[in-house]
Amino acid sequence: MASMERAMAASETSKLWRVPRFGELELLRAQYRTQTFPRHTHDCYAIGVIEQGALGFFYRGENVVAARGDINLCIPGEVHTGHPAVTEGWSYRMFYLDVSLLERVASEMSDRPQNIPFFQSGVLTDGAIAQQLRQLHQQFEQSSESLLQQETEFLEVLATFIKRHADAPPSLAPIGQERRAVTQIKHYIESHYAEEISLSALAHLTHLSRYHLIRVFRETVGIPPHAYLRQVRIRHAKAMLADGLPIADVAIATGFTHQSHLNRWFKKLWGITPGQYRNCVQDRSA
């Protein structure tokens, strides 16, 4: 029995890392078989998604279980524990979110100052949000997408999480006819498409909150700013490919992380690879 427990403990894995571009956001990906956590607290919001197995923990006066696909949650300062709820243990992906981050998101949702969100339950069943959180966590680990996309998706999933599950979610600020702001964003993206564009830069440009900016742009254009940026980059990539530039050079010149990043999005938007497009254009011009 002891040797079996040692073998299970040896199969445990964990990885903790920080994302400096998001205010030292901490992320954890772990698989635990025998790990137990004594009573403790966090000074941040701990939000995770159970990928396999089940996590049991004491929270707000009761013992609860978060199973595969559930969201486990702990608010700042709340005493809780952690242990395997099934023989095989559990694996999860965790976000450790600074209090000021969620307070800012709540404030941007209503365009006026808000208190930090309060969440009553430690286990939430919301498949859509769980999947978004999991995909976002994976994206942060791979660091493949643009800053603008990561910022947008992070902000939107947190806002949706607050709207659906906070005890007193803020009302969303109404969307007006901010066409001038949309035009400013388009012009900025057209002029800086090869650079790392941030939501904060666009917010400063338009004097809108980041969350309101996303909603206004999507309402007017039909897609969020990061998707518009991607289209602009692909358009310029096509022109460079038509001029015969190497695909790897085109990827870097248009703001993509690497050639495979350009390949993936070019194929998604055009149905063919950059190489196929270049060959087609060159065949026509021959």
Which CATH code, of 1.10.10.60, 2.60.40.10, 2.30.110.10, 3.90.550.10, is assigned to 174-286? 1.10.10.60
Confidence (pTM): 0.90
**What's the pLDDT at 1?**
45
User: Which residue ranges in the chain fall short of pLDDT 70?
Assistant: 1-10, 283-286
**What's the pLDDT at 108?**
96
Distance CA 174, CA 230 (A): 27
**What's the pLDDT at 119?**
97
**What's the pLDDT at 24?**
76
- For the domain 2-165, what is the CATH code? 2.60.120.10
Which residues have a Cβ under 8 Å from the Cβ of 52 and sit 6 or more positions away?
A: 31, 68, 88, 90, 91
**What's the pLDDT at 281?**
84
**What's the pLDDT at 143?**
76
Looking at every residue in the chain, the average pLDDT score rounds to 93
**What's the pLDDT at 23?**
76
**Nearest-5° Cα angle at 36, 86 to 52:** 40
**What's the pLDDT at 144?**
72
Q: Where are the domains of the chain?
A: 2-165, 174-286
Residue pair 97/25 in contact by the 8 Å Cβ criterion:
yes
